[in-house]
Chains A and B, each alone.
Chain A
Amino acid sequence: MLGFIVRRLLATIPVMGVVALFVFLMLHLSPGDPATVIAGDYASPADIERIRAKLGLDQPLHIQFGTWVWSLLQGDLGISIFSNLPVTQLIGQRLEPTLLLALTTLIITVVVAVPMGVIAAWKAGTWIDRSIMIFAVVGFSIPVFVLGYILIYFVSLKLGLLPVQGYRPISEGFFPFLRSITLPALTLSVIYIALIARITRASMLEVLDEDYVRTARAKGQLEWKVLIVHALRNAAVPIVTIIGIGIALLIGGVVVTESVYNIPGLGRLVLDAILKRDYPIIQGLILMFSFVYILINLAIDILYTLIDPRIRY
C-alpha cells in the first residue's frame, strides 16, 4: 500500500514536468518575440528591452527554463508585470471565492447527481429514467455562460430573489455569502450534474445485474438498502473517477462563471492577466490549476483502495 502510494507519487513527477515545459514553451513557441508580445502594441523599443531584461528573456532558452523551474521549486511563481506583486500573493488574495465556488458546486453536484443517477438506473426504461437522461443530455449542451445569463434574468431580474452579480466574502456573514454564491454554483453545477448523473446511472445499471444484488433482493433486503449498500457501493469507483476527471471541467467552468457573475476569484485573475498578457500570472495560474488537477486525481487513485477493498496494488 505504502509502496503503491510512493510509486504513484513518483509517477506524477514526469507529468508535472511536462506541464511545466508546456507552460514555459507556450510563450516561446508562439509566433513573435515574447518581450514584444508582452509589451503590447504601443510599447517603445526601450520598454521592450526593459521587459526582456526583467524576465531574463535575453538568456538562452534552457537557462531560462532552468532558472524558472528552480524558482518554482522554491515556491516562487514570479512577479506580476503590471501590479509588481508576487504571483503567489495575488493568488492568495483571490483564492477564497474560487475555492468556495468550486466546493459549493461540488457539494450540490454530488447531492443531486448521485441520487438522480441511482433513481434513473433503478427505474430504467420508464419515463422517470428518460426525463433524467434528457436533462443530462440537455444540461451537457447548454453553454455555462448562457445558462448563467438565463438564471440571472429569471431568478434575479424577474423574480428579484438573489443578487445579480458580485461576491460577498464569508467573513461578511454566512447568509450574504450564501446568497451571492447560490446562483453561480447552480449555474456551474448543471453541466457537472449532467455528467455525474449519467455515469452513476451507467455504473449502477451494470451492478444491478450482478448476482449479489439478486441475492440481496432474494433474502428480502429492503429495496433502498439493496440500492445503496449493495449496488451503489460497488458502483462507486467509476463515479469517483469521473468526479476527478470532471475537476478539469470544473476549473474551466470556474473561469467562465466568475466572469459572468463578476466574482473576484482566480478565474477572473487569469482572464484579466491573459487579456493584459501578464505572463507570470498566466504561467503561475495555469501551472497551479494543472497541479491541482493532477493532485486530486492522485488522491482519488489512492482513495480507490479505501472505497473498494478488492483493489489492491
Chain B
Amino acid sequence: MTLSVERDSFAGSFRANVAALRRQAFQRYPTIGIGGSLLILMIFVAVFAPVVATDDPIALNPIERLQPPGTDHWFGTDMFGRDLYSRTVYGTRISLIVGLSAAGLSVLFGLIIGLIAGYIRLLDAILMRVMDGLMAIPGILLAIALVSLSGASLVTVTIAITIPEIPRVVRLVRAIVLSVREEPYVEAAVSMGTPLPKILLRHVLPNTVPPLIVQATYVCASAMLLEALLSFVGAGTPPEVPSWGNIMAEGRAFFQITPWIIFFPGIALAVTVLAVNILGDGLRDTLDPRIAKKM
C-alpha cells in the first residue's frame, strides 16, 4: 500500500519534472518552438489544401490571366488565369512529400550502409570509396541527370534527390559506430557473447538516433530546395503538377511584368525550408549539447 502511494507520488513528481523540463527546454531553445510551429502550420496547409485553397489549382480561366494580387485572387493569377494562391497552397504538398520522403529514405539507406561499413572491416574500404565518389559528384547535376534519363515523375524526382544525400548519412552513422564499438559497455556485451544483431540493435542503434534526427531535418530542407530547383530548370515533376518549382518556372517568362508569380511560391519555399532548418538547429542544441556548445 505504502509502496504504491510512494510510487504514485514518485510518478506524479516525475511527470511534473518532465513537464517542467519540457517548459524549460522550450524557453531555452525557442528555435524548436518557432521552427516546429511553422512546420506544423505547413503540414496543416498541405493536408487540408482543398479547404485552405480558394480555387481549383488547375482550373484554367484565360480571361483572368496575369492578374495582380487582389481581393479576388490573393496572390494574383498566372498566364492561364489559374489562381496563384491556390496553386501555392497545393504546392506545399509536393514540397513536403518530397522533403519528408527524401529525409526518411536517405536516413534508412544511410543507416543500413553505415552500420555495415562500421562493422564489417572488409566492406568498409569499398563502401566508403563509393560514398566518397558519390559525394564528389555535384548533387544538383546528378539529380537532374537521373531525372532526365529515367523520366520525370514524383517518384523518380524523390529518388534522384535522395541518392546524393545518402553519403553524408553513411559517414555520420559510420563515425558513430566506430566510436561506440570501442565503448566499455559494447566490449562487455561482446565478451558476454551477445550476438551481433542484438549488439547493433541494443547498443549501437540508439546512439545514432539523435544525430540522425538532426541530419534528417537538414536532408529534408535541402531536398525541398533541390526539388524546386529541378522543376525550375525543367527537369523536375511533370509540368502539370502544381509544385512551387513548376509555378516559378512558368513565371520566368513573365517575370518583368508579373514578378509575383515567382515571389509568392519562392517565399513559401524559403519559409518552409527556414522552418525545417530552425527546427534542426534547435533539435541539435537539445539532443547534442556537445556540438551545441560549439555551434
Contacts and interface: CB of A to CB of B under 8 A. Distances in A.
Interface in B257-274: 259, 262-263, 266-267, 269-270, 273-274
**Which of B129, B233, B263, B277 has the most chain A CB within a 10 Å cutoff?**
B233
B211 to A, nearest CB: 16
Contact of A275 (B134, B135, B234, B248): B234
8 contacts: A16-B133, A146-B263, A146-B267, A149-B255, A149-B259, A248-B138, A252-B140, A256-B229
Interface of A: 14-19, 21-23, 26-27, 30-31, 37, 137-138, 140-146, 149-150, 152-153, 157, 164, 198, 202, 205-206, 248, 251-252, 255-256, 259, 270-271, 274-275, 277, 282, 285-286, 289-291, 293-294
Contact of B145 (A26, A144, A149): A26
Contacts of A285: 141
B121 interface: no
Nearest to B131: A18
A141 B135 CA distance: 21
Contacts of B263: 146, 149-150, 153
B94 interface: no
A144 B142 CA distance: 18
A14 B248 contact: no
Contacts of A23: 137
Interface of B: 129-130, 132-142, 144-146, 148-151, 221, 225, 228-229, 232-235, 248, 255-256, 259, 262-263, 266-267, 269-270, 273-274, 277-278, 281, 294-295
Contacts of A294: 136
Nearest to A285: B141
Contacts, number: 136
A17 B266 CA distance: 39
A274 B229 CA distance: 14
A137 B274 contact: yes
A251 B141 CA distance: 9
**Which of B142, B145, B228 has the most chain A CB within a 10 Å cutoff?**
B145
A271 B233 contact: yes
B150 A141 contact: no
Given A274-B141, A277-B148, A290-B138, 6 more contacts: A15-B129, A146-B270, A153-B259, A286-B145, A293-B136, A293-B138
Given A141-B270, A205-B294, A259-B233, A289 B248 contact: no
Contact of A145 (B139, B232, B295): B232
B132 A15 contact: yes
A23 B141 CA distance: 11
A248 B150 CA distance: 24
Contacts of B149: 26-27, 30, 37, 277
Given A143-B270, A146-B269, A149-B255, A22 B137 contact: yes
A206 B273 contact: no
Contacts of A138: 270, 274
B145 to A, nearest CB: 6
Contacts of A293: 136, 138
B144 A146 contact: no
A149 B262 CA distance: 8
Contacts of A144: 229
A285 B129 CA distance: 21
